[in-house]
Amino acid sequence: MGDTFGRQGGDPMEMKNIRLENIGKNYAKAQVYDHFSLEIEGGKITCLLGESGCGKTTLLNMLASLTPYEGKISNVPPRISYIFQEERLLPNLTVYGNIRYVLGKDADRDKIMDVLEKVELAGKADAYPKELSGGQAQRVSIARAFAYPSELILMDEPFSSLDTGLKIRLIDVFCKLWKEENRTAVFVTHDAEEAYMLSHRAVVLKGGKIAADIAAEGDVPRAYGAPSKYREEIIRALLGQEKA
Amino acid sequence: MKVYKRLINCIFPILVVAAIFLAWWIAALAINASLILPSPSESLRAFFAYFGEASFWRAIGNTMWRSLYSFVFSFVPAIVFALLANRYRYARKLIDPFIAFIRSVPTMSVILILIIWLNPKIAPAVVAIIVIFPTLYSSFSAAVSSIDAKLVQMSAVYRVSMAERIWKLYLPNMAPGLFEGSASGFSLNIKLVIAAEALAHTTASIGSMMNFSQALLETQDLFALTIAAVILSVVCEWAIRLVGRAVIRWK
Ligand SMILES: Nc1ncnc2c1ncn2[C@@H]1O[C@H](COP(=O)(O)OP(=O)(O)OP(=O)(O)O)[C@@H](O)[C@H]1O
Ligand SMILES: [Mg+2]
């Protein structure tokens, strides 16, 4: 398994950069990537942006070894948390049960309740997925990813169905957790504001190539709405404009 | 509103059963020969007369026990095979032709051959297993493949153990199919056991009692035993569905 996908066990203390080299990826009809390379900095939050259908989810799936590809991806740590674009909750388990499910032997009631509290869902611990709203289900998926001890966290539009207030609070929560445990994070979003608040680097994809690669200075989370050159550059790249 | 709905749900089966009895009663009047077609009242009288006979209850007990354990022996391998076939492509390549082979053998040949080979107490159960196992396998296979592949992927990413996946992902999400397949499978199972018992002359069984009353031309007894068999299979089917509904609360 490890060899097929070029996966290696990493030292959790020292987060290595994840390297994608010469990646080729085709689906039956579409070529998504061709000779694509990217280095994802260990212990940092990298944001992926780009038009719908440009291959962001595909990239996360390749990192998680969920889809085959050509080329080499190295230094992927052994344990991965993944906030999928959909919630992917087991319908037969409660909110609490769904988080417990991924923790296995490590499951600890206090830890699960604590993370549910952080995503403001402690009151829904015993609810079944069908009883949740879209945003609540999404938060369970976020809680599951946070609770699972991993060295890499993949997030596919995790805040897409949340209101602004909740989104900002969850970005704060994420940053706290991220500082405590220092995971490498890859964060997909359509929203320049989210990218600006919660990333150290924004990579804009277009047609299977890197259209822009913007580094930011300073600490996350950044203040909502504050003027920033980083955000301006992201927006300009998303609009396909050249650097001013 | 709820009571009203429940009443409606009850009324239709009752009407259907009443219509069947009415047609039966008219046919019995027309034929007017209880040796050929006893009337519903004669049959019901014979049916209730059995209630006082210990041999009847022993036969019911034996036949039910045989149906039950043969069903367990079909059910457990059917689940295991369905899960294996879903998980490993090569397992499916082996299992599918094997199932197709068993399925293609005529039931009557299976019954007659097994009666020669096995003792009459065991043969009916084995017959039932050979016939029921492939049907259960097919319906359980469909249930496994209906499980959301995205949930399987999620479990793989979070490295959930196989035991945990079976208990919390596969079995519960297969449950609707498991109960539905089991309900219809179990009632077919009872009928097969009775048929094989009749042919094997299994002592103290519903099948052999039917065989006996046919030989003695006690047609009303044959009908009475049939009523008993129908009630057994309907009650079991209904009970399995009821348990299913209680277990699958999260739907
Ligand atoms: N399983 C699949 N089979 C065939 N084609 C696929 C499959 N998954 C994705 N694709 C195609 O690959 C391309 C990239 O898809 P992907 O899901 O990675 O896009 P995305 O950037 O995540 O888009 P969005 O922002 O809408 O989520 C799309 O053109 C899509 O049609
Ligand atoms: Mg996507």
Mean of pLDDT values over B29-54? 91
Average pLDDT estimate for A177-201: 93
Q: How many beta carbons lie within 10 A of that of residue A110, not counting itself? A: 7
Note the ligand closest to the C-alpha atom of A189. 1
CB neighbourhood size of B9 (10 A): 9
pLDDT of the residue at A8: 42
Q: Name chain B contacts of A128, Cβ cutoff 8 Å.
A: 250
Question: Which atom of ligand 1 approaches the CA of A61 most closely?
Answer: 18
Closest residue, chain A, to B147 (C-alpha): A90
What confidence tier does A202 reach under pLDDT thresholds 50, 70, 90? Answer: very high
Residue A85 lies in a domain: no
Residues A75, A154 within the same domain: yes
A121 and A163 fall within a common domain: no
In a domain, residue A97? The reply is: yes
Mean pLDDT within A184-204 = 95
Q: Which residue, among B152, B154, B160, would best test binding to A if mutated, counting the most A CBs under 10 Å from its CB?
A: B154
Of B158, B172, B175, nearest to A102 by CB-CB distance is B158
The whole-angstrom distance between B64's CA and the closest CA on chain A is 33
Residues in CB range of A187: below 8 A, 6 or more apart: A45, A46, A47, A48, A155, A158, A194, A195, A198, A199
Q: Is residue A3 part of a domain?
A: no
User: Would you state the pLDDT for residue A5?
Assistant: 37
- With a 6 A CB cut-off, is A30 part of the ligand 1 pocket? yes
Q: Which of B150, B157, B168 to mutate to test the interface with A (most CBs of A within 10 A)?
A: B157
DSSP state of B100: H
What is the predicted pLDDT for the residue at A236?
93
* Cβ-defined contact of B150 to A84 (cutoff 8 Å): yes
Task: State which of A133, A148, A163 marks the end of a domain.
Answer: A148
Which of A100, A118, A148 corresponds to the end of one domain? Answer: A148
- Report the pLDDT averaged over residues B88-108: 93
Q: Establish if A33 belongs to a structural domain.
A: yes
Count CB-CB contacts under 10 A for residue B100. 10
Minimal-distance CA residue of chain B relative to A107: B160
Mean pLDDT taken over chain B: 93
Residue-wise DSSP of B73-97? HHHHHHHHHHHHHHH-HHHHHHHHH
C-beta of A205 in contact with ligand 1 (< 6 A): no
- A10 pLDDT band, cuts 50/70/90, is very low
Q: A119 with A184, same domain?
A: no
Residues A187 and A229 in one domain: yes
In this structure, the answer to whether residues A198 and A215 fall within a common structural domain is yes
Band (A13; pLDDT cuts 50, 70, 90): low
pLDDT grade for A3, boundaries at 50, 70 and 90: very low
Q: What share of chain B is helix, strand, coil (3-state, %, to 5)?
A: 85, 0, 15
CB A55 within 8 A of CB A39: no
The span from the CA of A75 to the CA of A16, in Å, is 6
Q: Minimum mean pLDDT among A49-53, A74-78, B33-37, B52-56: which range?
A: B33-37
ipTM of the complex: 0.89
Write the pLDDT tens digit of every residue in A45-58: 999 999 999 999 99
Record: contact B164-A81, CB cut-off 8 A: no
B174, B143 Cβ separation under 8 angstroms = yes
- A144 and A161 part of one domain: no
What average pLDDT is seen over chain A? 90
Whose atoms come closest to the Cα of A51: which ligand? 1
Provide the domain limits for residue A42.
12-79+150-239
B193 DSSP assignment: H
Region B61-72: mean pLDDT is: 96
Is residue A217 in some structural domain? yes
What's residue B82's pLDDT? 94
The shares of helix, strand and coil residues in chain A, as percent rounded to the nearest 5, are 35, 25, 40
- Provide the pLDDT for residue A30: 87
Q: What is the pLDDT of residues A24-45, one digit of tens each?
A: 999 988 899 999 999 999 999 9
Q: How far apart are CA B16 and CA A185, in angstroms?
A: 64
Does A110 share its domain with A57?
Answer: no
A53 lines ligand 1 (CB under 6 A): yes
- Which residues touch B129 (CB under 8 Å, ≥6 apart)? B70, B73, B74
Same domain, residue pair A65 and A165: yes
Residues 6+ apart with CB under 8 A from B27: B37
pLDDT of A18: 97
Per-residue pLDDT at A6: 36
Question: What is the sign, positive or negative, of the torsion defined by CA atoms of B100, B104, B108, B111?
Answer: negative
Last residue of some domain: A148, A167, A192?
A: A148
| Contact present, A145 and A101 (Cβ < 8 Å) | no
Letter string b/e over residues A12-48, b meaning 16 or more CB atoms within 10 A of that residue's CB: eeebbebebeebebeeeeeebbeebebebebebbbbb
Burial, B34: exposed, middle or buried (Cβ in 10 Å; 0-12, 13-18, 19+)?
A: middle
Of the pLDDT bands very low, low, confident and very high (cuts 50, 70, 90), residue A161 is confident
CB B154 within 8 A of CB A82: yes
- Rounded to whole angstroms, the maximal C-alpha distance in chain B is 73
**A213 shares a domain with A128:** no
Q: Residue range B140-147: average pLDDT?
A: 93
Judged against a pLDDT cut of 90, whether residue A7 lies above it is answered with no
Alpha helices by DSSP H, listed for B105-218, are 107-117, 123-145, 149-157, 162-164, 171-200, 206-215
pLDDT band at B4 (very low <50, low <70, confident <90, very high): confident
Give the mutation target among A23, A26, A27, A83 for probing the ligand 1 site: most ligand atoms within 8 A of CB: A27
Contacts of B157 in chain A (CB under 8 A): 64, 66, 80, 82
Residues A129 and A224 in one domain: no
pLDDT tens, position by position, A84-135 = 999 999 999 999 999 999 998 878 999 999 999 999 999 999 999 999 999 9
Q: Residue A4 domain-assigned?
A: no
- Cα first-last separation, chain A: 47
Please check the confidence at residue B237 and state whether its pLDDT lies above 60: yes
Q: What is the DSSP letter of A218?
A: S
Count the domains in chain A: 2
C-beta A154 within 6 A of ligand 1: no
Please give the pLDDT value at position B3.
Answer: 79
Ligand 1 atom 1 nearest Cα: A27
Burial class of residue B48, CB neighbours in 10 A (0-12, 13-18, 19+):
exposed
B219 versus B3: the higher-pLDDT residue is B219
- Can you give the pLDDT at residue B7? 83
A126 found inside a domain = yes
| pLDDT tier, A11 (very low <50, low <70, confident <90, very high otherwise) | very low
Q: Based on the fold, state whether residues A100 and A206 are members of the same structural domain.
A: no
**Are A194 and A211 contained in the same domain?**
yes
A222 occurs within a structural domain: yes
Which of A192, A163, A162, A145 lies closest to A47, judged by CA?
A192
User: CA A152, A153, A158 angle in degrees (round to 5)?
Assistant: 170
Residues contacting A212, CB < 8 A, separation 6+? A202, A203, A204, A233, A234, A237
**pTM (global) more than 0.90:** no
Length, in residues, of chain B: 251
CA atoms within 13 A on the CB side of B186: 21
Q: What is the pLDDT of residue B1?
A: 64
Enumerate chain A positions whose Cβ falls within 8 A of a Cβ in B: 64, 66, 79-82, 84, 86, 88, 90-93, 97, 101-102, 104, 128, 130, 144, 148
DSSP-assigned beta bridge partners for residue A47: A187, A202
Q: What percent of chain A has pLDDT over 90?
A: 82
